[in-house]
Structure 1
Amino acid sequence: MDFALIMFVLLLITGSVWLLDRFILQSKRIDSAKEPWWVEYSKSFFPVILAVFMLRSFLVEPFKIPSGSMIPTLQVGDFILVNKFTYGIRLPIISKKLVEINSPSRGDVMVFHYPENPSLDYIKRVVGLPGDQIAYRNKKVFVNDVLQEQQPDGDYNYVETALNFVHTERYRENLTGHVHSMLVNPEVPSIHLGAVAEFPHRENCAYSEKEVRCIVPAGHYFMLGDNRDNSRDSRYWGFVPDNMIVGKAFMIWMNFNDLKRIGLSID
């Protein structure tokens, strides 16, 4: 079950007990009588649950990075903070936008509900905005037919969870002004056609062995992982609709395997 939904249910239960006691039960108790345990616990936990629920729903929510699809920007085991209001204020649980503030920008690292299974949260980088024509060809990104510059930045080696050693090449990619690090494995093809799923607006995309080209629908975004050859992203499952956006990742607050990463901003 979704954590936000669990918090909401607990909030309803403890809040209902608090109201029941405040307006009915309290007046019927003898002054010396002790509160029932379920009233005492509910009144104690209600303000705490309310504070946590409001904080996570409207301000900041923590997430843990479970995979290497965003290496080198994010490492497996990073605990990150996500700004919940930068893209607008949304109702908890149903994610309906109440107040428009900002729209995602190209280059943002964004958390969203995975379109193939909305109970899961994914994190990728925004590459395509509504109306953009995005092409990923020979390991390079083209936005509206303009090549996004990549500058070599040395080799980058890492070990996967199965103790597989991976050798990649690191680049500094410029997404129309937003510069960030990304990885390319020269031994892996640009796209695995057999892994491409059927998805909404699939007709907006054209595939070949060396290229995927898509026109991003209105109200949707095209996402890529920074570890390009170890990322299942919009190349395979399509676009992220606006109503599945969770927020913008902005800081690493903990990594128990590498304490030097604490406090790093997410570019």
Structure 2
Amino acid sequence: MTTRDPIGVRLGAAALSLAVPGAGQLLRGRLRRGLAWFAACGVLWYLLPWTGPIGLLIALGVRVLAVAVDAAVIAGGPRLSAGRLIGLCLAMAATMVALGVVFRTQVMRGYRMPSAGMNPTVAIGDLFYVDLRDRAGALGAPIVFLHPGTGAEFIQRVVAVAGDRVAIRDGVLWRNGAAVPTGPAAPCRYDDRRLDRWQVATATCREERLGGRRYQVVFDARQQFPAPDDAAVDGVAAHEVVVPPGHVFVMGDNRPNSNDSRSWGPLPTDRIVGTALYVWLSQGPEGVRWSRLGTRF
């Protein structure tokens, strides 16, 4: 049996589904439909590491709009008893909270970029998602990790893995005795912030290609690593660094302005938190940077 509910009940059902997806359908007497919406929202959120920015838009559209509209416009069904309705809604809310905790601690988490060390790939003010399941530290991947000394969370790029030999010569990254492929150098600009004041920084950038990824790095031809005056090994100056087992070598894409493995050594892989995925919001000196929304790393 279907019922025609007054507008107040329909709006209340829509509001309830905004709080707990599917709960508004339960209020309207559509138990199976409500549970189906609840499950669909959970699946869409869990798939975000694979579906990316488009998946995020779909998940938000379903979570915020489709479920609420459906709860308001569907024909009502047999009413649930007050006790059963409250019990089901509380169970759904508790499940949503529990799944949210699991999602944020085991699947995907949001981070904010506080500094210029990964410009131009990751801008100051970028809010981005990190896949917590991907802790392999793949070559070329931008990863979030815990600093081995301070425990602070950093985001930098893996430029060498265990067994690799790494160096920088005249600003160019070398790996295993060969220069990493790069594009032509060109002027670039990015937003920087110092002492809470925004400013536009100018630099020279070039494309770097590593591990199947293409990305821009700030280039400075004066950079050398290891530096000529670094400590010698057995009386011979070190011209490259060998990454030990269980470690990766990380650098910021803003090579002249990054506190990375060149300063404190290779990173133990057990310090890796996850792999950065894409920007879901970005705030700069002029407000929201709409052009960066959905930018993949």
TM over 0.5: yes
Aligned-pair CA distance for 1:242: 1.5
Q: 1:77 aligns with which of 125, 146, 153?
A: 125
Does residue 169 (structure 1) correspond to residue 184 (structure 2)? The answer is: no
SS of the residue 2:188 aligns to: strand
Q: 1:148 aligns with which of 173, 180, 198?
A: 180
What is the alpha-carbon distance in structure 2 between the residues aligned to residue 229 and residue 212 of structure 1?
Answer: 19
Q: Percent identity?
A: 26
> Equivalent residue for 2:296?
265
2:218 maps to a residue whose letter is: L
2:119–2:254 CA contact under 8 A, matched in 1: yes
What is the alpha-carbon distance in structure 1 between the residues aligned to residue 155 and residue 163 of structure 2?
Answer: 22
Aligned-pair CA distance for 1:217: 0.8
SS of the residue 1:179 aligns to: strand
2:168–2:223 CA contact under 8 A, matched in 1: no
Q: 1:213 aligns with which of 240, 243, 255?
A: 240
What is the alpha-carbon distance in structure 2 between the residues aligned to residue 235 and residue 115 of structure 1?
Answer: 13
Aligned-pair CA distance for 1:115: 1.0
2:106–2:133 CA contact under 8 A, matched in 1: yes
Please report the TM-score for the alignment, with normalisation by the length of structure 2. Answer: 0.59
What is the alpha-carbon distance in structure 2 between the residues aligned to residue 240 and residue 59 of structure 1?
Answer: 22
Aligned-pair CA distance for 1:207: 11
After the TM superposition, which residues 5-20 of structure 1 pair with which residues of structure 2 at under 5 Å, given as runs?
none
Q: Larger relative CO (CA 8 A, sep 6+): 1 or 2?
A: 1
Please report the TM-score for the alignment, with normalisation by the length of structure 1. Answer: 0.66
> Equivalent residue for 2:142?
109
After the TM superposition, which residues 62-211 of structure 1 pair with which residues of structure 2 at under 5 Å, given as runs?
62-87=110-135, 103-118=136-151, 120-162=152-194, 163=198, 165-175=200-210, 177-185=212-220, 189-190=223-224
Q: What are structure 2's unaligned runs of at least 5 residues? A: 1-90
Structure with greater Cα Rg = 2
Q: Cα 1:212–1:169, aligned 2, differ >3 Å: closer, same or farther?
A: farther
> Equivalent residue for 2:8?
none
Bigger helix fraction: 2
What is the alpha-carbon distance in structure 2 between the residues aligned to residue 182 and residue 138 of structure 1?
Answer: 14
SS of the residue 1:80 aligns to: strand
Q: 1:56 aligns with which of 97, 104, 113?
A: 104
2:134 maps to a residue whose letter is: T
Q: Cα 1:142–1:71, aligned 2, differ >3 Å: closer, same or farther?
A: same
Q: Cα 1:108–1:176, aligned 2, differ >3 Å: closer, same or farther?
A: closer
Q: Cα 1:254–1:165, aligned 2, differ >3 Å: closer, same or farther?
A: closer
1:123 maps to a residue whose letter is: I
SS of the residue 1:152 aligns to: coil
SS of the residue 2:193 aligns to: coil
What is the alpha-carbon distance in structure 2 between the residues aligned to residue 262 and residue 137 of structure 1?
Answer: 35
1:212–1:235 CA contact under 8 A, matched in 2: no
Q: What are structure 1's unaligned runs of at least 5 residues? A: 1-42, 88-102, 197-201
Q: Cα 1:219–1:253, aligned 2, differ >3 Å: closer, same or farther?
A: same
State the Cα RMSD in Å: 3.1
1:134 maps to a residue whose letter is: V
What is the alpha-carbon distance in structure 2 between the residues aligned to residue 160 and residue 72 of structure 1?
Answer: 10
> Equivalent residue for 1:233?
260
What is the alpha-carbon distance in structure 1 between the residues aligned to residue 213 and residue 236 of structure 2?
Answer: 27
> Equivalent residue for 1:224?
251
Q: Cα 1:44–1:228, aligned 2, differ >3 Å: closer, same or farther?
A: same
Does residue 246 (structure 1) correspond to residue 273 (structure 2)? The answer is: yes
